Amino acid sequence: MDSYIQFERVSFSHGRRVILDQVDLVIPRGKITAIMGPSGTGKTTLLRLIGGQIRARSGRVMVNGLDMGRASRSELLAMRRRLGMLFQNGALFTDLTAGENVAFPLREHSRLPEDIIQRIIALKLQAVGLLSAADQMPAALSGGMSRRVALARALALDPELMLYDEPFTGQDPINLGVLLRLIASLNKALGLTSVLVSHDVTEALSIADQVFVINEGRVVGSGSPEDLLVQKAQSPFLQQFLDGVPDAVTGQSETEARNLAVALGLGVPTVPMAEQESVQ
């Protein structure tokens, strides 16, 4: 299998805190690879390593044959021109309209005439279902809308590698469907290599060809979605993460729930103190 990105024993830390610990990953060309894991395990960090914004402390990150730790400035720039990244919060340019945000990479990297640029803007915004928002400023867009405009912007230059950081957060069911179809069809029709960071398990598993689950800086599960379901049987963590329901909650009684709420400082116990003692 032809790989686009390889992580070879990659470690990364912020100060003394180890974020990624000897991670090995192979991300195949032309496929959708989902990276999943709990909040704060270093998924965004991983994408930044791929984009060359930060360098690994040890190990090697290879992107399309380029060693990101050794790449020169110009190699890095050339690599980034073929890359589209959707940031977790959108990261739209707040002083430009939605349309101009999409036009930004085109104006920076191409000498296309204005009418073509306008056509591309319309096309890309239409693909994310936001053609009507072209003249809005980012401040006037909702979080989910911003992220979709940012997706249109990331696609403006027709990248060959797309990095999606949590594209599904804050999307309603209809737009979620639009996004899932868009990501999948970009992949099928254009042969894009996609890296999809998400903790929306159902959505990610439904379109991913391959999945890596990361926890506490290590890969704790990998393979096709079907493989993962098999691995789940052996790993309590995977089970909890993929099924999303800690088993403690499923069998929780009403009293247990109430006690938990009280312990969290929520609500006042409805039962008088003395009575509650006798209940316990």
Partner 1 sequence: MSGWINSLLAFLALLGRWMLESTQHTGRMILFTGAVFLRLFPAWTRPRLIIQEVYAIGVLSLVIIVISGGFVGLVLGLQGYNILSKFNATESLGVMVSLSLVRELGPVVTALLFAGRAGSAMTAEIALMKTTEQLSAMEMMAVDPLRRVVAPRFWGALFAMPLLAALFSLVGILGGYLIGVVVLGVDPASYWGQIQQQMSPVDDVLNGVIKSLAFGFVIGLIAVFEGYDAEPTSLGISRATTRTVVLSSLTVLGLDFILTAWMFGT
Ligand X SMILES: Nc1ncnc2c1ncn2[C@@H]1O[C@H](COP(=O)(O)OP(=O)(O)OP(=O)(O)O)[C@@H](O)[C@H]1O
Which residues contact partner 1 by CB under 8 A? 51, 53, 77-78, 80-81, 83, 85, 87, 89, 91-94, 104-105, 108-109, 150
The item of ligand X, Mg ion, partner 1, none sharing an interface with residue 54, based on CB under 5 to 8 Å by kind, is none
CB nearer to partner 1: give 14 or 181.
14
What count of other Cβ atoms lies within 10 Å of the Cβ of residue 92? Answer: 24
CB nearer to partner 1: give 56 or 106.
106
Instruction: Compute the distance between CA of residue 217 and CA of residue 11 in angstroms, rounded to an integer.
Output: 8
Q: How far is the CB of 4 from ligand X (least distance, A)?
A: 21
Q: What is the dihedral of CA 111, 146, 166, 118, to 10 degrees?
A: -20
- Rule CB under 6 A: say whether 57 interacts with ligand X: no
> How much is the CA Rg of the chain, to the nearest whole Å?
22
Q: Kindly state the number of chain residues that form the binding site for ligand X, as judged by CB under 6 A.
A: 10
Q: Which of 10, 33, 34, 41 binds ligand X (CB under 6 A)?
A: 41
CA distances for 239 relative to 51, 223, 236, angstroms: 31, 15, 5
- Rule CB under 6 A: say whether 143 interacts with ligand X: no
CB nearer to partner 1: give 69 or 223.
69
- Rule CB under 6 A: say whether 55 interacts with ligand X: no
* Residue 129 contacts residue 182 (beta carbons within 8 Å): no
**Burial code of 40-52, b = ≥16 C-beta within 10 A, e = fewer?**
ebbbbbbbbbbbb
CB nearer to Mg ion: give 29 or 218.
218
* Residue 144 contacts residue 170 (beta carbons within 8 Å): yes
The item of Mg ion, partner 1, ligand X, none sharing an interface with residue 41, based on CB under 5 to 8 Å by kind, is ligand X
Query: If we measure between CA atoms, which residue out of 2, 158, 182 comes closest to residue 83?
Result: 158
* Region near ligand X per CB under 6 A, out of 37-45, 61-69, 76-84, 177-185: 37-45
- Rule CB under 6 A: say whether 88 interacts with ligand X: yes
Instruction: Compute the distance between CA of residue 137 and CA of residue 145 in angstroms, rounded to an integer.
Output: 11
CB nearer to ligand X: give 39 or 234.
39
The item of partner 1, ligand X, Mg ion, none sharing an interface with residue 53, based on CB under 5 to 8 Å by kind, is partner 1
